[in-house]
Amino acid sequence: MFHKEILSRTGCSSRHLKGRGLTAVIKKNFFPDYVFVSGGAYLPPTPSGKKKGANGMARGRLVDNQVRLWIQGKPRNEKKFHLFSRAFIELTKMLKLTPVGAQVVVREESCNLATLVDAVFVNSKGKTVVVELKTGFEGYNETSTGKMRGVSSYLTDCPANQHKVQLALTSAMFEKTFPELGKVEALVIRMTSKGAHVRGLSDQVSKTAREILISGHLS
């Protein structure tokens, strides 16, 4: 309850966002030339054999929304959730993560940045865990088109590292927005047809993100 009361302070939906969107800003600064590859349809074939069209981005939005409904305790039939949503929920239970917030607004005034945290949990030790939830990227998650730009030039330019940069900045913004919750653990959880892929952040990526926010130098 303590976490939920704190997290509600900034709002829990896109209508509470005030500032530049983090995703667009990091793309502009660190990987402006990368072209994302769309995923396949997420819905099963109809009886006629035709697939209902929806690409990987639409699937991601669907899963995000279903996870949000589950975390916020809004009554839904979870058995009808997308496979990735159900698998994510089961994974968090297995990891003993207690959900406390979804689509939580965090801001960084010095850079005029704002973003939504996909999901916030508390682990078995009482530590806050910030989760960046991804779906798909199968077959090209670590396929690089070179190096990123600027202070992230030590990283190859691929979706896996882009997600880490996004999470690192999101978690750093979270810590500044909610200082009373202390230092957080940050995880990228990517759901695929082959299972869940859970990745943390290196010290270097986390340090770089904090330095970026301190400098305020994001065009």
Q: Is residue 51 included in any domain, yes or no?
A: no
**Per-residue pLDDT at 122 exceeds 80:** yes
Integer angstrom CA distances of residue 105 from 13, 72, 89, 201, 204: 7, 15, 21, 21, 25
End-to-end alpha carbon distance in the chain? 38
CA distance 116 to 60: 14
Q: Is residue 172 included in any domain, yes or no?
A: yes
pLDDT of residue 46: 39
pLDDT of residue 56: 66
Q: Is residue 137 included in any domain, yes or no?
A: yes
CA angle 69, 74, 78 (to 5 degrees): 65
pLDDT of residue 38: 52
Q: Which of 17-31, 119-133, 141-155 has the highest mean pLDDT?
A: 119-133
Q: Is residue 127 included in any domain, yes or no?
A: yes
Question: Residue 156's Cα: distance from chain center in Å?
Answer: 19
Q: How many CB atoms lie within 10 A of CB 125?
A: 7
Strands 113-122, 20-21: pairing is: parallel
Q: Is residue 54 included in any domain, yes or no?
A: no
Q: Is residue 63 included in any domain, yes or no?
A: no
**Per-residue pLDDT at 18 exceeds 80:** no
Q: Is residue 53 included in any domain, yes or no?
A: no
Question: What residue type is assigned to position 77 of the chain?
Answer: N
> Burial letters for 40-79: b for 16+ Cβ neighbours within 10 Å, e otherwise?
eebeeeeeeeeeeeeebeebbebbbebbbbbbeeeeeeee
pLDDT of residue 45: 40
> Burial letters for 168-184: b for 16+ Cβ neighbours within 10 Å, e otherwise?
bbbbbbbbbbbeebeeb
Strands 195-199, 98-108: pairing is: unpaired
Q: pLDDT tens digits for 158-214?
A: 999 999 999 999 999 999 999 999 999 999 999 999 999 999 999 999 999 999 888
Integer angstrom CA distances of residue 156 from 17, 36, 165: 30, 15, 11
Q: Which of 7-16, 138-147, 181-190 has the highest mean pLDDT?
A: 181-190
* Range(s) of the domain holding residue 7: 2-39+91-215
Q: Is residue 46 included in any domain, yes or no?
A: no
Q: H or E element: which one contains 131?
A: strand 128-135
What is the pLDDT of the chain when averaged over all its residues? 86
pLDDT of residue 194: 92
Query: How many structural domains comprise the chain?
Result: 1
The answer to whether the beta carbons of residues 178 and 122 sit under 8 Å apart is: no
